[in-house]
Structure 1
């Protein structure tokens, strides 16, 4: 919740402080991923065979944190994940990026990394859906596929001699339109099995990029035959406007993410949808979601959710 820039009255400040203290208490009691600062001792659940990873040090028989962050455990590997660290790509990550340059046989994208990522023409599906070698004509028509400032979803392929490479060989990847692109701290988006979500009740798609770029937009069917369309159907699609109700749902979901990001809560589709439902149940208008009262309500809702989760685990 650090860095929260909202104007709270005295009562709201007390409520928010109480919620923060309760969340810290619940985290220390029920969550193995405890926050640590430099020189904190990391409690161990294993007596032997512990593997000490990044941000840890063996000191007088104890594992001590060397950086500020959150303790992560993968089997017997223990390491500290720095909270404010820049995004570090891993092969297979789902990322959302913005095209910054159309270069020969490749696009360069901003993916919130220390350098631009590269999407090769040969590493994506062509609009006609046919698997074939790329020709000089394809290279000349690159701007008809993606151009500067287009928002794209892709997958991290790996590092090569000229930088970080992406790929978009699946129907679920490609250009994103009719929506909003939000930026949150990358540590708020954990790697999960599913980063694509169709929120059917709201008619929108939600993509949680591992790089901290989150896309909320009108739902698009990503079926196999979508890429094999004639020009008439494409022109018809371009003339269709996003319904007002869908646009309101996009803005409501975007504001829910803004509130959760400011409070420093981990982004999951469940938490985001609970925040959206909270705003609806409390009759909070879309623009009122960024007011101080809804920030406090969201923090109190998170306390309630974590208490419920903790009691279920004990039960």
Structure 2
């Protein structure tokens, strides 16, 4: 976790409480990661009698292993490397990403991904609305705007990284595709840690949460995913059309759901402002804290709630360390 200085109109009391909470967090962090944080030219302690592999952010000079970047020392078996903090998004194949369509081109969509280059989603890499697995035709190309248009928010997976650094995406599963009835938030990519699960359903609130590895986070109304492949054989086209039209008629999002989306969104904004790692557990705890303290949605962005979140995180880490 990386704390940062924030510019908020603190009262003197709030300022003292916030600084005290940050000091507690830093002391707990330094105790757990003793000497793990390094800056450029710092010596990284290693046992030279045992074989080790120099990884990213390290260099051997005069028999000593030195750090060439600022960050945290990580060790995986014999590999020693420095994980940089506050770095840009570094894509890996298989990453779950959330992006915004910025162009509909020939047989492809260009997607903004909070990266140095835009992602490319080919028509051939897209799951067709009817779920059929077939060769894409010129008719499919003409109907591309029926799938995605500019400014649509989409979820996809990184398929490959090209030599020029551009990202090839694919969305060949029913869990990927267009995202609607929600809001898109942006956090620094280093606040999102890769995990086995980036799709979350907060059942108590009826909200879908997709934490993209690229720092884009989607908070939206829960959608029951229906895999077209699993549809009953023999379903008539007119039945499918009537079903889709009835879905469009029921496009109204309940007020309570919209309030939950805004509350979760503000919780993510507060965590981002404080520089805390964004996980579904921390987001849920922040939302529960706002409810327990009777904090209105718009008041979550005020100074007092930032202080409460910092104090709550310090207490949570202290209890975790005791266990």
Scaled to the shorter chain, the TM-score interval is over 0.9
Pair 227,110 (structure 1): closer, same or farther in 2 beyond 3 Å: farther
Name the counterpart of 1:58.
60
- Equivalent pair of 1:38/1:66 in contact (CA under 8 Å): yes
Name the counterpart of 1:152.
154
Name the counterpart of 2:297.
286
CA distance in 1, matches of 2:78, 2:295: 45
- Equivalent pair of 1:71/1:79 in contact (CA under 8 Å): yes
Q: Give the secondary-structure state (helix, strand or coil) at the position aligned to 1:48.
A: coil
- Equivalent pair of 2:160/2:168 in contact (CA under 8 Å): yes
In structure 2, runs of 5+ residues without a counterpart are: 232-238
Matches within 5 A, 1:15-54: 15-31=17-33, 34-44=36-46, 48-54=50-56
Pair 130,32 (structure 1): closer, same or farther in 2 beyond 3 Å: farther
- Equivalent pair of 2:97/2:155 in contact (CA under 8 Å): yes
- Equivalent pair of 1:33/1:72 in contact (CA under 8 Å): no
CA distance in 2, matches of 1:227, 1:288: 45
Name the counterpart of 1:186.
189
Q: Give the secondary-structure state (helix, strand or coil) at the position aligned to 1:296.
A: helix
Which structure is higher in RCO with an 8 Å CA cutoff and minimum separation 6?
2
- Equivalent pair of 1:73/1:79 in contact (CA under 8 Å): yes
Matches within 5 A, 1:30-179: 30-31=32-33, 34-44=36-46, 48-160=50-162, 163-179=166-182
CA distance in 2, matches of 1:51, 1:93: 26
Q: Give the secondary-structure state (helix, strand or coil) at the position aligned to 1:73.
A: strand
1:309 paired to 2:320: yes
How many positions carry a matched residue from both structures? 312
Report the TM-score when normalising by structure 1.
0.93
CA distance in 2, matches of 1:302, 1:178: 31
Q: 51-60 or 113-122, which moves further after superposition?
A: 51-60
Name the counterpart of 2:276.
265
Q: Give the secondary-structure state (helix, strand or coil) at the position aligned to 1:49.
A: coil
* Residue 243 of structure 1, CA deviation: 0.7
Name the counterpart of 1:9.
11
Q: Pick the aligned partner of 1:233 from 243, 249, 271.
A: 243
Q: Pick the aligned partner of 2:225 from 222, 225, 229.
A: 222
CA distance in 2, matches of 1:61, 1:183: 43
CA distance in 2, matches of 1:94, 1:115: 16
- Equivalent pair of 2:221/2:261 in contact (CA under 8 Å): yes
Q: Give the secondary-structure state (helix, strand or coil) at the position aligned to 1:123.
A: strand
Pair 310,294 (structure 1): closer, same or farther in 2 beyond 3 Å: same
- CA root-mean-square deviation: 2.0
Q: Give the secondary-structure state (helix, strand or coil) at the position aligned to 2:272.
A: helix
Larger Rg: 2
Pair 33,194 (structure 1): closer, same or farther in 2 beyond 3 Å: farther
CA distance in 1, matches of 2:229, 2:21: 47
CA distance in 1, matches of 2:279, 2:197: 10
- Equivalent pair of 1:95/1:209 in contact (CA under 8 Å): yes
In structure 1, runs of 5+ residues without a counterpart are: none
CA distance in 1, matches of 2:12, 2:265: 28
* Residue 32 of structure 1, CA deviation: 6.6
Matches within 5 A, 1:188-207: 188-207=191-210
CA distance in 1, matches of 2:225, 2:48: 45
Q: Give the secondary-structure state (helix, strand or coil) at the position aligned to 1:230.
A: helix
